[in-house]
Structure 1
């Protein structure tokens, strides 16, 4: 999977959960999916529409009512849904999932398989602001999913970030190779 697709995918809070549920065999109708995610109808609808625009899911032709359609994974969506399912299985509870719903958490964890500097993470992520990246790094560090080390081998010391513990499990579940 490409990093740009991962960034787009995680820009909506419930996208990963919807894909994982469809991958794991949840009915493709809206009511069961809303109940299984625990999302509000508005947030769910935004995430669902986002996944349709990305080409991950589609309306199942010939199934469902026009006002209550049934959805299914596309071929590309099935691959991404398998990854989403692995990610969600690697987090132990809803509290941990609330961290993953944040826009930049999953892409940051995908990038930090090896130690990375702030500037390298920022340049790889593209549209992230310094503030959003800093807040996400702090949140992941507080959860002990990222380890921050200070490299003093250079004249000017600088911090590096590395996925550890649960963050390492999520990194491996993503399987992004740069």
Structure 2
């Protein structure tokens, strides 16, 4: 999956869950999707609108009520929904999945299949700030999804980051398409 699409997709907390739910056969109506994701109504509605703006969802013409529309995956949305399903299945625990709902978690994990320096991660995620990257890396390291190693063999020691444990499982789920 293209990293720019992944960054846009994961900028809303429930986007991955909505796509994975629709991919697994849950009807594209608000009530069943809301129940499957356990999101708040506001966050769910924002994620749904975001997916429509990205062109991954569309209203199902001729179905639903104007106040309770039905949605379906677009062709691109169906392809991305398969990846979203693999990502969601890689982290089955709801408490751990809360970390995956954060904006930069999935894109960072996608880039850390092998040890990466901070500057390489920042250049791979063009729109991320230094603070957001360092905060996300610290959070992932605290959860044991990223491992930080110091390479002291060079004149100037520097840290590298790579995905481990659940982080590696998410990385592999994303990498199957890349």
Indicate if the aligned counterparts of 2:58 and 2:71 stay in contact, CA closer than 8 A. yes
- TM-score under structure 2 length normalisation: 0.97
Residue in 2 aligned with 1:44? 44
How far 1:177 moved relative to its partner? 7.5
How far 1:176 moved relative to its partner? 6.7
Indicate if the aligned counterparts of 1:2 and 1:176 stay in contact, CA closer than 8 A. no
Residue in 1 aligned with 2:2? 2
Cα distance in 2 for residues equivalent to 1:53 and 1:2:
17
Cα distance in 1 for residues equivalent to 2:175 and 2:78:
15
Indicate if the aligned counterparts of 1:122 and 1:128 stay in contact, CA closer than 8 A. yes
Cα distance in 1 for residues equivalent to 2:106 and 2:30:
25
Corresponding residue pairs, total: 178
Indicate if the aligned counterparts of 2:83 and 2:177 stay in contact, CA closer than 8 A. no
Indicate if the aligned counterparts of 1:57 and 1:71 stay in contact, CA closer than 8 A. yes
Identify unmatched segments of 5+ residues in structure 1. Answer: none
Superposed CA RMSD in Å reads 1.1
Residue in 2 aligned with 1:153? 153
Indicate if the aligned counterparts of 1:113 and 1:162 stay in contact, CA closer than 8 A. yes
1:3-152 matched pairs, under 5 angstroms:
3-152=3-152
How far 1:92 moved relative to its partner? 2.6
Identify unmatched segments of 5+ residues in structure 2. Answer: none
